Amino acid sequence: MIVIKISDLVKNRRKELGMTQEQLCEGICEPVTISRLENGKQIPSQKHLQEIFERLNIPNEYLAACFLDDSYRHMSEKEEILKEIYHCFMLPKKQQIKKLEDIKSDTDKRYKNGNISEQFYCFIDIFVNLNNSSIEDNMKKCIFEIQKTNPCFDISKISELLFTNDEFYLTLLLGVLFYMKSDNEQCEAVFLDLMNYMKKRKNYEIINENNKIRDIFVHVLYMRVLKHMKKYIDAVVIGENILCRCLDEFQYFFLGIVYETLADCKKEMNDSTAYEYYRKAWAYYFSTNNQCGLERLEIKNIKLSQDDMFFNKQKSKI
């Protein structure tokens, strides 16, 4: 994977061509814009950036790096909130409601302090109120917010567009809303397009923890959708791939639910390896003191010994 820093890319290419900042910006923008771009303090508009890239003969694909990661200063804020949301949906219903209220309150403060963008705030607002408002209204709200900054947005052409991270999350939310609407075909299409989008942009995006969380988050949600659609084979393929990524990229946060979902799917497929994945899920939940995960396994009649972490007599029922 190519690691790109836009400021260095533009500066190095300009110097290679023997151009001054004034020569580069002529007819495009002010010299100060180039200076701020090369110092990492500003990213120009998409139109100006495209013209700059054309003058420097830089492939347009590299534009994706700018629009996949437009909010550098908010990365840790977003990552933290996303993890909180994902963890929330692993909790029992009563705890989940309270946690969502806390997340919404915290997000309100961050938004008022200017620490997160309006679009990301909208994403959180819809996500934490998924069960308290109309699906259709939420879908309209998502599309309206995306089109504020991406007027060409078309749900049928996701993989052909360029997105900011905030636009990406709102598009992901559309996929979730299609699932809640029981429109499985459209839901699956959105998730597939998002994964194709990420795959196409993979060699041009800036590597950071937020992008890793985002990519894994999408795949885990898609795996869960496939499981609920009873597409167990497809879910296992996605799950085993994402499991390798979690381990290789040290994203252990998702391990428990990936192990558990893989086990559920393999059990439905009468795959004898299901118990091994349940064992790993149990071990993860036990070691991280995830009582909700342990309770879910207990409801499924999955019980392990704390000493050997293997199934007891319930093993034969899997």
Q: What is the pLDDT of residues 66-123, one digit of tens each?
A: 544 443 334 456 767 777 776 676 666 677 778 888 888 888 888 887 777 888 889 8
Check residue 19 and report its DSSP letter.
Answer: -
Does residue 26 register a pLDDT over 60?
yes
Beta bridge partners of 311: 304
pLDDT in tens, 158-214: 888 888 778 888 999 999 899 888 888 899 899 999 988 888 776 544 445 556 777
Q: What is the pLDDT of residue 274?
A: 92
How many DSSP H helices and E strands does the chain contain? Answer: 16, 0
Q: Would you state the pLDDT for residue 184?
A: 86
pLDDT at 51 over 80: yes
Alpha-carbon separation of residue 177 from 57, 131, 292 (angstroms): 41, 11, 25
Backbone phi, then psi, for 304, in 5-degree steps? Answer: -125, 160
Look at 139 and 95; give whichever has higher pLDDT.
139
Q: How many other CB atoms sit within 10 Å of the CB of residue 230?
A: 10
